Structure 1
Amino acid sequence: MTHASLSSGTPAPRTDADLIGSNRRFYDALWSEAKLFAPQRFNTWPLVAELVGRSTRRLEIAPGLRPRLPLTDTQFADLSRPALAELARHGARVANAMIGALPFRDGSFDFVCAFDILEHVVDDDGALAELARVAEPGASLLISVPLHPAAWTAFDDFVGHYRRYEPEAIRALLARHDFHIERSAVYGMQPKSSKLLDLGQWFLTHQRARAMWWYNRVFMPLGVRFQKPLRLEPGFSPAPGVDEILLVCRKGDL
């Protein structure tokens, strides 16, 4: 897999320890001050509700306090202890674990979900191998990733992205682990304005507490309120300029 930032300067290689450290610095602080958003508030809910209707054993990886699957009868795995504590307080089953080392038996789940995770992981091939291991044959996989290495910005560095994917690269990576794309949709709530992103990064760097307050109490609720409905299309043929994609996959032959 080509490193996403080769087109705009290569960051130093990262280890799992680096990932854990950056998670604790950024996301533990974020979730410590955040409120849990119910899955029904996101534009993914109609799709999730459809897939939940034919599943009984569900897993969501690293949701933080923005879970997309129902809290009841779903297993959640995350590195952030503040997020896990809040999820558990609302009745969810939780495990402190990384995507590349899941503490579950082979074929444990018939619906696996990982939003905005794969781009953060050094060994994305190993991570998908783990998802394939815990997913039974015929299981659904709901996953989102950012596209196009050439679209790399300082925001990717700031939030800890390790790569962006060319469409054919993510398709091939999924297929290598027997996940086949059934449907896709443009996805994500990243601001389009580079000046707004720069301002947000400045506040997160220099006035983190204030920035977290505004994000959790103002910008996130507004972003959720003004989400556009997902427009799912058969297969996966993203138009030029699409920043992030949501993929509905099936384990096994189509």
Structure 2
Amino acid sequence: MPTVAIPRPTDAELKRTNQRFYDALWSGARLVDPSRFNTWPMVRDLAMALPRRLEIAPGLRPRLPLDGTCFVDISLAALQALRAEGASAIRGSISDLPCPDASFDLVCALDILEHVQDDEGALRELSRVTAPQSRLLLSVPLHESAWTSFDEFVGHYRRYEPAQITERLASHGWTIERSAVYGMQPSSGLLLKLGQWSLSHRRERAMWWYNRVIMPLGLYLQKPLRWQPGLPASEGVDEVLLLCRRT
């Protein structure tokens, strides 16, 4: 696989990018019920069987049930909206979880590990707060060769090669039980550039269109997800959903 030169922001730059993007996104968004996502059929029974649950950085797109799940996020707008729906929501980050050791049996961290410079530290925190034989629901973007300027724009620090994420999880005591194709690389580079330009130069209007038009349409057009054993061949897959067991 060819080597891809990816710009690496400093930790401070990465935090500013993430804070700026997601503060703008969540401040104008409405909370979407977890049952509306295509992840719901895959996690519903798992969540019911594992009542000690934590979801990290859900924003206003939580995937675990609002009732009984502890949510951790850095966004005040997201925390306020979650609490308004009766959810337990506290401020914190994946790098420093405000949770006791071994306190959860199911932890969900979707679209977050790629935003963290110190992903080893984040995985240590995930392992610290999980009990033996717990489950981890994780999603990550794949293939550095698929990197675009949009990755940088939304605050990604990396994309993972399949072997890399498998080995990194294993080093922290996690085994990938199942996986599902969670996204595909956008087919239109022009639309990608247009979206990035709009978010850079017409941020308020772009966020309005995303939250009021694009997001509802995306929910309507979602395709069902399907679990596969382990992590099979992933050529052409933009993002993967992983269900891991702590051993």
Q: TM-score range by the shorter chain?
A: over 0.9
Among candidates 50, 59, 63, match of residue 54 of structure 2: 59
Q: Is the 8 A contact 2:57 2:73 kept in 1?
A: yes
5+ residue gaps, structure 1, are 1-5
Q: TM-score, normalised by structure 1?
A: 0.93
Alignment of 1:130 onto 2:97 = no
> What's the counterpart of residue 87 of structure 2?
92
CA-atom RMSD, angstroms?
1.4
**1:1-254 alignment, distance < 5 Å:** 7-15=3-11, 17-188=12-183, 191-252=186-247
Following TM superposition, where does structure 1 have runs of at least 4 consecutive aligned residues deviating by more than 6 angstroms?
A: none
Deviation at residue 231 of structure 1 after TM alignment: 1.4
Aligned length: 246
What secondary structure does 2:94 align onto? Answer: coil
Q: Is the 8 A contact 1:23 1:80 kept in 2?
A: no
Q: TM-score, normalised by structure 2?
A: 0.96
> Which deviations, in whole Å up to 9, do the C-alpha atoms of 1:176-218 show, x marking residues without a partner?
1111000000003764321111110011011111100100001
> Which deviations, in whole Å up to 9, do the C-alpha atoms of 1:96-138 show, x marking residues without a partner?
1110101111101000000000001000011001000000001
Q: Is the 8 A contact 1:184 1:248 kept in 2?
A: yes
Q: Distance in 1 between matches of 2:69 and 2:190?
A: 39
What secondary structure does 2:183 align onto? Answer: coil
> What's the counterpart of residue 3 of structure 1?
none
> Which deviations, in whole Å up to 9, do the C-alpha atoms of 1:14-53 show, x marking residues without a partner?
21x4343223211111100001111000000011102112
Q: Is the 8 A contact 2:181 2:237 kept in 1?
A: yes
Q: Is the 8 A contact 2:184 2:237 kept in 1?
A: no
What secondary structure does 1:187 align onto? Answer: strand
| Structure 2 residue identity aligned to 1:32 | S
Q: Distance in 2 between matches of 1:115 and 1:190?
A: 17
5+ residue gaps, structure 2, are none
Deviation at residue 238 of structure 1 after TM alignment: 2.9
Choose 191-200 or 123-132, whichever is displaced more: 191-200
Identity of aligned residues (%): 61
Deviation at residue 80 of structure 1 after TM alignment: 0.8
| Structure 2 residue identity aligned to 1:31 | W
